[in-house]
């Protein structure tokens, strides 16, 4: 199986995530893409993250009807800080025949060498770097050879949507319509997420 993996807090999931996943599915002929909401990501240790159940419910709404897109809750169930290398190792051990494709945004590539065991990640999976508008990425040349050899670029239009911006807009009482699926927009309002009174982990 050619399995794509897209991790993130998805707080909230938005159309940029879906466009990214679909572009990778099509470009690399992936049979499935698993959205993996993080539990306690190492790069956001001080950030408040919405309850995992609510993030998963928003994902379920956003992915409804897309049979190639699935949700894995393995990281939110894991205690302590969650690391990509541990998730990939677990997936490979469960089914060694899987061809894993780990999807990241181009903005994450600069910090990738600081992740836990980046070269091991490159051994376990092809790294799909979603490169908005085909911009030249000089930082690729500075990466270790093992990582460079694992990278595959996938170009998508420059969407310009970020979860942090959406949370800020909601907190300011502004609309996020047409930036998230309609069902997710409704869910955020119903549960009073991202406002001063909202509950976070």
Does any domain span residue 45? Answer: yes
Instruction: Quote the pTM value.
Output: 0.92
Closest by CA position to 107, among listed 133, 71, 82: 133
- For 51, the token pair is 């309850």
pLDDT digits (tens, 9 = 90+) for 76-118: 999 888 999 999 999 999 999 999 999 999 888 888 999 999 9
Q: Which domain holds residue 24?
A: 2-160
pLDDT digits (tens, 9 = 90+) for 122-176: 999 999 999 876 666 777 888 999 999 999 999 998 888 999 999 999 999 999 9
Does any domain span residue 170? Answer: no
Residues near 2 by beta carbon (within 8 Å), at least 6 away in sequence:
28, 29, 30, 31, 99, 101
> What span, in angstroms and rounded, lies between the C-alpha atoms of 157 and 199?
34
Closest by CA position to 107, among listed 170, 50, 156: 156
- Please name the residue that has the structure tokens 């780990």: 102
State the CATH number of the domain containing residue 36: 3.40.50.620
Does any domain span residue 172? Answer: no
Does any domain span residue 169? Answer: no
Does any domain span residue 194? Answer: no
> What span, in angstroms and rounded, lies between the C-alpha atoms of 176 and 127?
31
Domain count within the chain: 1
């Amino acid at each position: 199986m050619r399995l794509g993996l897209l991790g993130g807090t998805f707080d909230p999931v938005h159309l940029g995530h879906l466009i990214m996943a679909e572009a990778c599915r099509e470009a690399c002929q992936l049979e499935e893409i698993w959205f993996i909401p993080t539990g306690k990501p190492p790069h956001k240790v001080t950030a408040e993250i919405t309850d995992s159940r609510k993030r998963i419910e928003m994902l379920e709404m956003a992915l409804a009807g897309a049979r190639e897109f699935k949700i894995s809750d393995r990281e939110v169930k894991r205690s302590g800080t969650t690391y990509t290398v541990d998730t990939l190792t677990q997936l490979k051990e469960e089914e060694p025949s899987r061809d894993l494709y780990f999807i990241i945004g181009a903005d994450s590539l600069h910090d990738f060498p600081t992740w836990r065991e980046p070269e091991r990640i490159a051994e376990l999976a092809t790294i799909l770097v979603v490169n908005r508008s085909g911009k030249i990425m000089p930082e690729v040349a500075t990466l270790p050879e093992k990582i460079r050899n694992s990278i595959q670029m996938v170009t998508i239009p420059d969407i310009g949507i970020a979860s942090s911006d959406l949370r800020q807009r909601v907190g300011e009482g502004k609309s996020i319509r047409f930036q998230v699926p309609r069902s997710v927009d409704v869910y955020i309002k119903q549960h009073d997420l991202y406002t001063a009174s909202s509950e976070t982990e």
